[in-house]
Amino acid sequence: MDSQEKQHKRRVRYAGTHPRSYKEKYKEHQPEKYADTIEKVIRKGSTPAGMHISIMVKEILDFLQIKPGQTGLDATLGYGGHTKEMLKCLEGQGHIYGLDVDPIESAKTKERLEKQGFGEEILTVRLQNFADIDRVSEETGKKFDFVLADLGVSSMQIDNPDRGFSYKVEGPLDLRMNPEKGISAAQRLKEVSLEELQGMLIENSDEPYAEEISKTIMNWRKRGKAIETTTQLKGAVEEALRFIPEKERKEAVKKSCARTFQALRIDVNSEFEVLYAFLEKLPGVLAPGGRVAVLTFHSGEDRLVKQMFKQFYKEGIYSDIAKDVIRPSAEECARNSRAKSTKMRWAIRAQE
């Protein structure tokens, strides 16, 4: 054998379908290259990694009745799917302001929409909390003909383990919408009292095992076992629910993990306080006859929206409100499993 023969090079492992680490790219992260893969994932009722499928687009547009020349506000820009459809309705005339507190995703969305032909002449993206809609109205000198607020966490945030929004993958337990502000969920768990944690789980997510989960987390803390990651918090929930019969335990853990993460996310982002401020200021930024649609994803949010809309309707500030929630169609829920918990409510500003 020739000693000069080159050493055999080991074949580079393909990481497209089963990456060892979340840092490795999935095919779905490159939709322009893997359109067939994207469509297969969507057909199965899943959301492709790194994408966000907008919910109830038809129902929103049917209600908002957007006309060319109007001024609108997307209070929760996210991936920009709803914004894009609303921009199309303007037919190049008018303007939409998009708000988001997430500096990472809002910059990506702005760039994405610019490439699709929606530049600054028709869309303004502001890194701002939707609790500050009064400031947006004052600074722009605009009253809005239509407003949309989608209160769901975007799929890009859920699918990015660095953000800590999902118990399904390993990542730092952060849960902040804006990772540059406030304290992380991990830090919050180091400071919170037993009573406060239990109350948080009950009030923010109706967790039936709030007492057991809270006590387990406190016991971990006493033993010097800090909860720093998503999988560690999941482990604490699993330990807390060991008393549940084995046949039922897997499903119970899954649901309690989802509720625990939700309760913590609401807490670290002050979501109820922010929503209340938004709803309270909303009539002041709507033009006469202006329309608002709000998408909620759990009972606490929906209850607050319902109460505030009802209060302003009784006071004559809104001329009409949704009497019942509007739900996504069965077809949409089959195509996008994340749509199942969605509720839509709407209100119309009285003419002055």
Query: Which strands, in side-by-side order, build the sheet including 71-74?
Result: 123-127, 95-100, 71-74, 144-150, 286-296, 343-349, 318-321
- Distance, in Å, from the CA atom of 81 to the CA atom of 109, rounded to the nearest integer, reads 9
**SS3 call for 15:** coil
Tens of each residue's pLDDT in the chain, 352 residues: 444 444 444 433 333 333 344 344 333 344 445 455 444 544 444 444 445 578 999 999 999 999 999 999 999 998 889 999 999 999 999 999 999 888 888 888 999 999 999 999 999 999 999 999 999 999 999 999 999 999 876 555 555 655 656 777 788 898 888 777 889 999 999 999 999 999 999 999 899 999 999 999 999 999 999 899 999 999 999 999 999 999 999 999 999 999 999 999 999 988 899 999 999 999 999 999 999 999 998 888 899 999 999 999 999 999 999 999 999 999 988 888 778 889 999 999 999 7
Domains of the chain plus CATH, in order, are 57-156+272-349 (3.40.50.150), 178-268 (1.10.150)
Cα(first)–Cα(last) distance of the chain, in Å?
94
- Distance, in Å, from the CA atom of 29 to the CA atom of 19, rounded to the nearest integer, reads 13
- Distance, in Å, from the CA atom of 185 to the CA atom of 293, rounded to the nearest integer, reads 30
**What's the predicted TM-score (pTM) here?**
0.78
